[in-house]
């Protein structure tokens, strides 16, 4: 049996950029078979072409906000890739930063559909595979916003608080099934995140990181890989990661 055959199949959502892309590179470099999904097939194709083809790679266009699309995707996985051993629920986003009384409803619907419904529906389809195999690891990408609120983070923070609690619920549900669950909670990280949040306004996005040294995608990929590389009897429940330049601020008081 080859080294690759000994390694679990890793499914990464939102793999076309940011944390997901970095995770894809990390797992491929380490010899894992990977399934990479995202909405932007052209970026997935380019990513796959840059990876080591000595290890199995499967890519698919997938919108995690579409429940029926998720079901069809899982149902039609090639036989070689059906026994998913690690699920990295990475697909997620923030849109807008306005206070709740000024938010655009479509923006927070998009966050709820992606960050909550997409993660739940993907987990629902993959968990039975892991239960049948009596083995697996679900890694959810949360955020420090799930624990620490800030102005304009209203719905986004609420979705990541859901991810935190849902991860805990999965641990309770899957006890005795030999399946691990980890919630990774990044702080400030420079990826496409702010560009998406500010709807392509590069100046606003750049201002978020001006004068600081934030986390980068590779830092989170290393963290995810570390969590899944722990001995099978050890589960990292949650792991909060901030850049050294970031910390919890003082409580605000309006006078």
Does residue 66 surpass a pLDDT of 80? yes
- Please name the CATH architecture into which domain 4-92+114-187+217-241 falls: 3-Layer(aba) Sandwich (3.40)
The predicted model gives 221-236 an average pLDDT of 98
- Backbone φ and ψ for 141, nearest 5 degrees, come out as -90, 105
pLDDT given at position 164: 98
The predicted model gives 60-82 an average pLDDT of 98
Q: How confident is the model at residue 100 (pLDDT cuts 50, 70, 90)?
A: very high
Closest CA to 61 of 47, 46, 42, 87: 42
Share of the chain above pLDDT 90, in %: 84
The predicted model gives 150-174 an average pLDDT of 96
Q: Is the pTM of this model over 0.85?
A: yes
The predicted model gives 125-144 an average pLDDT of 98
Does residue 201 surpass a pLDDT of 90? no
Residue 203 near residue 156, CB atoms below 8 Å? no
For residues 220 and 24, what is the distance between their CA atoms, to the nearest angstrom? Answer: 12
The predicted model gives 136-149 an average pLDDT of 97
Segment among 54-63, 99-108, 136-145 with least mean pLDDT: 99-108
The predicted model gives 223-235 an average pLDDT of 98
Q: Which long-range contacts (CB under 8 A, 24 or more apart) does 72-77 make?
A: 73/37, 74/125, 74/126, 74/129, 77/35
- Backbone φ and ψ for 236, nearest 5 degrees, come out as -85, 110
Closest CA to 142 of 94, 209, 211, 208: 94
156 is catalytic: yes
Of 236 and 206, the one with more pLDDT? 236
Q: How confident is the model at residue 60 (pLDDT cuts 50, 70, 90)?
A: very high
- For residue range 3-38, what is the model confidence (pLDDT) as tens digits? 566 899 999 999 999 999 999 999 999 999 999 999
From 27, 32, 156, 209, active-site residue? 156
The predicted model gives 75-84 an average pLDDT of 98
Distance of CA 72 to the CA centre of its chain: 21
pLDDT given at position 1: 36
pLDDT given at position 4: 65
Q: What tokens were used for 114?
A: 């992606």
Give how far Cα 70 sits from Cα of 108, 116, 124, 152, 153, Å.
21, 14, 10, 31, 28
Q: What is the mean pLDDT of the chain?
A: 94
């Amino acid at each position: 049996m080859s080294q690759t055959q000994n390694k679990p199949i890793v499914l990464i959502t939102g793999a076309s950029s940011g944390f997901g892309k970095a995770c894809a590179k990390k797992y491929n470099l380490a010899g894992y078979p990977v399934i990479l999904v995202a909405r932007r097939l052209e970026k997935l194709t380019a990513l796959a072409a840059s990876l080591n083809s000595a290890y199995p790679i499967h890519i698919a266009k997938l919108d995690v906000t579409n429940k029926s699309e998720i079901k069809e995707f899982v149902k039609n996985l090639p036989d070689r890739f059906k026994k998913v051993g690690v699920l990295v629920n990475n697909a997620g986003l923030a849109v807008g930063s306005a206070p709740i009384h000024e938010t655009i409803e479509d923006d927070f619907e998009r966050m709820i559909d992606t960050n909550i419904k997409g993660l739940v529906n993907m987990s629902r389809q993959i968990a039975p595979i892991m239960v049948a195999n009596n083995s697996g690891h679900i890694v959810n990408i949360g955020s420090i916003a799930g624990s620490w609120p800030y102005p304009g983070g209203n719905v986004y923070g609420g979705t990541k608080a859901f991810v935190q609690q849902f991860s805990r619920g999965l641990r309770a549900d899957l006890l005795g099934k030999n399946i691990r669950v980890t919630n990774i909670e990044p702080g400030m990280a420079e990826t496409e995140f702010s560009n998406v949040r500010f709807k392509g306004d590069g100046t606003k996005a750049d201002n978020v990181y001006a004068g600081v040294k934030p986390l980068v995608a590779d830092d989170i990929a290393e963290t995810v890989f570390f969590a899944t590389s722990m001995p099978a009897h050890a589960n990292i429940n949650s792991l909060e990661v901030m850049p050294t330049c970031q910390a919890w601020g003082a409580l605000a008081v309006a006078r």
